[in-house]
Amino acid sequence: MVGFRKGERRRPGLSLADCAQTIASPKLLIILHSLAISVEQLCARNPGAPPCEKTRPRHCVLCGQAARNADGTLRVVGHGMYSRQVRGLTKDNWIVVWIQRFLCLSCGRTMSLLPDWLLPWRWYAGTAIIEALFRHCILRESAVSIAVRLGRPDDSLEWKSLRRWRKQLLISPTLWGWLGPRLGATKPAADKDEAKLYLNRLLAEGWHKGAIDEIREAVRRTLRDLVHNRKSAWLLKRFLPGLFSTGSPAQSSRRLPTEKDSGPGPP
């Protein structure tokens, strides 16, 4: 069954037809970055975490289906939670956070609500990655000292992750690659100096003024209210460009402008 566990009552609006349609539909994981949840609230399913109804998206971020129909029937329903391990936020090394997930019954996509300090598909928090790069490329601290600060063993001789982040910044789809073309990053940084240039451009997006204690807030501004699908990212208030509903609730496709047809109109 989709949307409820064994022994639980079925939620209003979740019919057997809806379940069958959802199971047959293709799945696409969409990530919503939100300011609604803190680290403490996410750890160990803290009782202070906001309820599902409060964090529920107002609409499906892919097909545009409203969370509730005109009659109040839910179309974007809770779809359970999953745990994620995160590094770099505390000196205690790993922490486990719980991520709320939602399901659109119209198109069959799932949406996971992430806080804006956590990048999708990365072990280290986004704020920790940028602080590490700032110390490495701008303050010129050693990789070993940065690794210890972020919870790595102090006997490590090198830290390959730091070098990898330096090359992937503004290039990788999961490391602000969606901003790369606009910020002039067309290839991986060749050295620390070029990485410093990329990093300063990224931090300027978050209104960073140069102080290291302002980095985390600047990084969070670059991730605020974003939808991420592993390949790209766009603002939560917009639909993915070129995507429109075909009339069949479980289907969607892309349509590009032509000489005879300018493409889909604004939502």
Work out the mean pLDDT of the chain and round it to a whole number: 76
Q: What is the DSSP letter of 4?
A: S
Same domain, 136 and 47: no
Q: Tell me what the mean pLDDT of segment 182-196 comes to.
A: 95
174: left (phi over 0), alpha (psi -120 to 50) or beta: alpha
**Residue 170 placed within a domain:** yes
Same domain, 54 and 84: yes
**Residue 121 placed within a domain:** no
**Residue 266 placed within a domain:** no
Q: What is the DSSP letter of 189?
A: -
Structural tokens at position 79? 């779809």
Same domain, 110 and 158: no
Same domain, 133 and 110: no
* 82, 88, 89, 92: CA torsion to nearest 10: 90
Same domain, 21 and 111: yes
**Residue 4 placed within a domain:** no
Same domain, 109 and 132: no
Same domain, 149 and 110: no
CB atoms within 10 A of CB 7: 5
Same domain, 21 and 93: yes
215-244 residue pLDDT tens: 999 999 999 888 988 888 888 876 554 444
**Residue 5 placed within a domain:** no
Same domain, 42 and 86: yes
Q: Tell me what the mean pLDDT of segment 14-33 comes to.
A: 53
44-40-114 Cα angle (round to 5): 85
Return d(Cα 107, Cα 248) in angstroms, integer.
Answer: 9
Question: What pLDDT score was predicted for residue 35?
Answer: 55
Q: Which range marks the domain in which residue 147 is found?
A: 126-222
Same domain, 105 and 145: no
Same domain, 144 and 104: no
163-166-171 Cα angle (round to 5): 130
Residue 204: pLDDT over 90: yes
Task: Please state the domain count of the chain.
Answer: 2
Measure CA 25 to chain center: 22
Same domain, 59 and 102: yes
**Residue 231 placed within a domain:** no
131-188 residue pLDDT tens: 999 999 999 999 888 888 887 776 666 788 899 999 999 999 999 999 999 999 999 9
